[in-house]
Amino acid sequence: MLRTHHPLLAIIAAGAALATVFIAPSPALSAEVPGAGAYYVQSVTTGLNAVDSGGAVVQRNPKGNEDHQQWTLRPSGTSYVLESTDTAGSCLGRIGNQARTVACAGADAAWEVRPAGADQYTLKVPGADRYLTVAAKPSGANYPAQLVVGPAGGLAAWYLTPVASPAGPIPSPDQRTLDQVTFLTAHNAYANGVDGGFAPPFVNLVPNQSRGINQQLTDGVRGFMMDIHKTSDGAILCHNSCTLVSRPVALWVDVQRMVDFLKQNPGEFITVFLEDYVDPGVLRSELARVNGLSDVLYRPDRTGVRANGWPRMADLIADNDRLLLFTDHSRSADQAAGLTRDSFGVMYQREWTVENYWSMGSGVGSSDWSCYSRWYDAATNIPLTRTEPSFRPLFVMNHFRDAAITSTAATDNTKLTDRAQRFCQPAARKKPNFLAVDRYDLGSASSAVTTLNTYTY
């Protein structure tokens, strides 16, 4: 993550180092604090944003400029204030132990902004050991929405995420790493009405895609979302279940198509995401039917990715590590069953990626363009902003509805670049790596991928 600094303060600090008497800058106005500008105040714990909600300051799903989530940071004396970009003179502050919007000129609007490591900050009450914080999580519930003023600790760590994402040019093809690249991804790629049946008769009338897997590959799709269910024939591609589905396709058939494509196109890389309802032994047997799979299967768990970051695409191509398989299944459930999927090369997605919630709405009517983690609930907390010291998870951005209505998908896909850059990129503090859409052939999904592949976050 890039920071902007106060150039004047940096010059003053440098000059002071040469002076006979050194005068250190105030901790609150340290050059380590981002420069004045518009930011999201984003919880490190939850990934949610601080919002002005009728005077209360609460955390909500990131939603760009549509929900009073943007704050202008500026110096005020020896401290800082965060003024609402929607309401002049109204600042993020406190009344007692509650986070509230207050008059910017008042003492309760002032904060000491202090670095907390790894591009994180605390907002401290001047002269007191009290901080803006997320309230403690009750057992069996989400973190409370209302933000409070309380003790130091992990819940008091914040990102100040720039509204205008910092960006630089993408490295040359021989230098760019996997996490710097964006791939066109077909949601429910198997549900295309071309390769075979995927659902009961009436659902078959609303396919998520209109072209078969081979054509998708030719068209530049490089990410494939697949639902697999167990039948007497193995791991079969069906939506919800395989009951009453005529001519369903087996998983191994589509994976074979991908492996064959990779053999014919040695410079390409493919990722498969499995919505996985089969036992690990069934999946292992299914993949064993794919000729040449082991020749191209990429194993990030065996190549030091967590310690060293994602490799360069050029190195993956040179090593023939060109097919990455993910499952959304639970590792703990597989451990209880005695066979983990990564033992035969299928990675657990929650360990390697972050992913936003999958639906923008029903397919007709209102839309929800907010961008928040698919894995945030009473039992799970994997924010889109999750990072590790040497490892940044890949970001799967879902951009589709409950139902793939043709006209809606066409319109949504024309807005893909805008949602990626204004809503999801700041929400995750990283560029999407996989843009997952229905009816990729409609709208401008491919041009969105092209645009995102011109820069890095």
The helix or strand, by DSSP H or E, that contains position 48, with its residue range, turns out to be none
Q: How far apart are CA 366 and CA 386, in angstroms?
A: 29
- Domain annotation covers residue 334: yes
> From the centroid of its chain, how far is CA 277?
24
3-state secondary structure (DSSP) of residue 378: coil
Same domain, 312 and 401: yes
Q: Nearest-CA neighbor of 379 among 81, 159, 37, 139?
A: 139
Residues 103 and 122 grouped into a single domain: yes
d(CA 155, CA 13): 32
DSSP assignment of 242-286:
-TT-SSBEEHHHHHHHHHHHHHH-TT--EEEEEEEES-HHHHHHH
- CB count within 10 Å of CB 49 equals 28
Residue 92 lies in a domain: yes
Q: Would you say residue 10 lies in a domain?
A: no
The 3-state DSSP class for residue 185 equals strand
Grouping H, G, I as helix, E, B as strand and the rest as coil, residue 70 is strand
Task: Point out the domain boundary residue: 162, 178, 193.
Answer: 162
DSSP-assigned beta bridge partners for residue 43: 158
Same domain assignment for residues 142 and 178: no
Asked if residue 269 and residue 132 are part of one domain, the reply reads no
On whether residue 6 sits in a domain, the answer given is no
136 Cβ contact partners less than 8 Å away, ≥ 6 residues apart: 155
284 and 400 co-located in one domain: yes
Whether 382 is covered by a domain: the verdict is yes
Strand 79-84 to strand 70-76: parallel, antiparallel, or no bridges (unpaired)?
A: antiparallel
Q: Which two tokens stand for residue 349?
A: 């997605």
Burial label for 27, CB within 10 Å (0-12, 13-18, 19+), is: middle
Q: Verify that 202 and 146 share a domain, yes or no.
A: no
Specify the amino acid at residue 299.
Answer: R
Q: Kindly state whether residue 330 falls inside one of the protein's structural domains.
A: yes
Same structural domain for residues 141 and 209? Answer: no
- CATH number (domain holding residue 302): 3.20.20.190
Helix (H, G, I), strand (E, B) or coil at 239: coil
Residue 321 lies in a domain: yes
Phi and psi at 233, nearest 5°, equal -95, 0
The answer on 67 and 176 residing in a single domain is: no
Please state, in angstroms and rounded to a whole number, the distance separating the CA atoms of residues 130 and 133.
9
Residue 263 burial (C-beta neighbours within 10 Å; 0-12, 13-18, 19+)? middle
196 within some domain: yes
Q: Which two tokens stand for residue 173?
A: 């093809």
Residue numbers of the domain that contains 53? 37-162
Which one, of 170, 136, 172, lies nearest residue 154 by Cα?
136
Q: What CATH number does residue 154 fall under?
A: 2.80.10.50
Same domain for 129 and 265, yes or no, is no
Whether residues 143 and 102 share a domain: the answer is yes
Co-location of 270 and 401 in the same domain? yes
Q: Which of 111, 130, 162 is the last residue of a domain?
A: 162
List the structure tokens of 70: 């943007």
pLDDT in tens, the chain (457 residues): 333 333 333 333 333 333 333 333 344 465 689 999 999 999 999 999 999 999 999 999 999 999 999 999 999 999 999 999 999 999 999 999 999 999 999 999 999 999 998 899 999 999 999 999 999 999 999 999 999 999 999 999 999 999 999 999 999 999 999 999 999 999 999 999 999 999 988 788 899 999 999 999 999 999 999 999 999 999 999 999 999 999 999 999 999 999 999 999 999 999 999 999 999 999 999 999 999 999 999 999 999 999 999 999 999 999 999 999 999 999 999 999 899 999 999 999 999 999 999 999 998 878 899 999 999 999 999 999 999 989 999 999 999 999 999 999 999 999 999 999 999 999 999 999 999 999 999 999 999 999 999 999 9
Q: Look at the chain and report how many structural domains it folds into.
A: 2
**pTM of the full predicted structure?**
0.92
Q: How far does CA 67 lie from the centroid of its chain? A: 20
Looking at 130, 162, 194, which one is the last position of a domain?
162
Residues 6+ apart with CB under 8 A from 164: 37, 38
- Phi/psi for 146 (5° steps) reads -65, 125
202 in the same domain as 138 = no
